[in-house]
Amino acid sequence: MVRWQTFTGAVIGLALGIAILNLADVGRRQAPPSGAILSECNGHFRELVIQYEPSAREIVSRPYADFLGALGDDVTIDVVCPNRAAYDELVAFVGQVHCKLRPIVVNHPMTTWSRDRWVALAPASPDGITTLLHQSEEAAAKIWPARAGDEKVSADIAKALPSSAFALRAPFYFDGGDFLADDETVFVAPHILPRNIQCTEFSKETFVRDIAVALKRRVVLLDEAPDHHAAMFMASIGNKTVLVGDPNLGRSLLPASIPADFPELPGGPDFSAQTQHLFDAVASQCAQADYKVVRVPTIPAADGRSYLTYENVLIDRQVSQQIVYLPFYRGAAALNDSARKIWQGLGYEVRPVDCTSTYLHFGCLHCLVNVLKRS
């Protein structure tokens, strides 16, 4: 009887999930047909989304200035801000840029982390609408007003851009950073599973199936990985290839005596066997999924949240040109140079972005920028 009930519940849950993905919220227009989750590594940037609120200025001003300053005039940046004054402040500190900046003023509290709010499902046709798939509730929203505001951001974007974006609630809990997609596979960080089992799902198997239905990609749910978003420890670069962080490589590039200007690592670097095992486990699981694995130096801090990572990148493709916007850290020249050479060896033009002010806040470049449209 228990098995029959569980099976029936799983079928009903899947049916409800599919229904939610095909219907709009009550009182709103029907959801447009959508394609698969947008690839991290294919297509040319057309429209990107960043969030900015003034209390985060010291965290984001340098990476925003470096990144936006390197984009071309065919890229539009939607800047989500709590008010017009915040937008004007951002325009002032980034200086003259070629890309087009467009404000979306939301008039409520919010954070500066754009990536975790939603994932983009590509339009079903070239002239279609991008679907912003978001979760029902942000973690800590009940006690953190800015996170409660973040719950509204995808709807804010859809309201501001009704001809190009539609906000849709997913039938499961997630952060956008939990997913890392190419044109074939979505790699999923394992910490997403406890958030959903017994809340929205009955088993790991039904959860993987539901993600595959929602995102229209093969799903590889990692069994073991560092307890962080996927792009903090790996990057999917296309052609069945992933980069995976390697603390041992990072340790080999540390100077014998760490200079005073080396980036801060809360609690010091974590080169424990257990942490190395988690990064190696990611590499092994990717290889088992028939992916080529390239290791890149990474230094995790003992706090378990701060990484000097060279996987938290943004990738743009312009015809045959491959561009990677690559984090670097002041005072870590040997690490920066090693990572740059690895990416260049893979055929990428490297455009560096200074993330020294960002990594101590448990994120990096990929965490700050979400992609709405690629060509």
Tokens, residue 68 = 């936006």
For 34, the token pair is: 């959508």
Q: What is the pLDDT of residue 25?
A: 47
Low pLDDT (below 70) residues in the chain: 1-29, 138-141, 143
Across 82-120, b (16+ Cβ under 10 Å) vs e yields beeebbebbbeebeebebeeebbbbebbbbbbbbbbbbb
Say if CB 238 and CB 40 are below 8 A apart: no
The strand pair at 119-123 and 218-221 is best described as: unpaired
| Dihedral sign of CA atoms 243, 248, 252, 258 in order | positive
How many Cβ atoms sit within 10 Å of the Cβ of residue 226?
26
* Residues of the domain holding 74: 2-374
Contact 71, 130 (CB under 8 A): no
The CATH number of the domain holding residue 262 is 3.75.10.10
Res 28: pLDDT: 57
Query: How many folded domains does the chain comprise?
Result: 1
Count Cα atoms within 13 angstroms, Cβ side, for 151: 14
Could you give the strand order of the β-sheet that contains 45-51, starting from the edge strand earlier in sequence? 100-105, 76-81, 45-51, 369-374
In whole angstroms, give the CA distance from residue 358 to residue 115.
14
Say how far apart CA 187 and CA 180 lie, in whole Å. 5
Cα separations (Å) of 272 from 60, 162, 192, 299, 308? 30, 49, 24, 11, 16
Q: Is 95 left (phi over 0), alpha (psi -120 to 50) or beta?
A: left
Angle between helices 84-94 and 57-69 (to 10 degrees): 60
d(CA 232, CA 120): 19
- β-partners of residue 323 are 316, 349
- Residue 139's pLDDT is what? 67
| Dihedral angle of Cα 36, 165, 141, 189, to the nearest 10 degrees | 20
C-beta of residue 329 within 8 angstroms of C-beta of residue 269: no
Buried b (16+ CB within 10 A) or exposed e, 233-263: bbbbbbeebbbbbbbebbeebbeeeeeeebb
> What is the sign, positive or negative, of the torsion defined by CA atoms of 191, 192, 197, 202?
negative
Question: How far apart are the C-alpha atoms of 224 and 342, rounded to whole Å?
Answer: 25
Q: Which are the contacts of 319, defined by CB distance < 8 A and separation ≥ 6?
A: none
Contact indicator for 162, 199 with CB cutoff of 8 Å: no
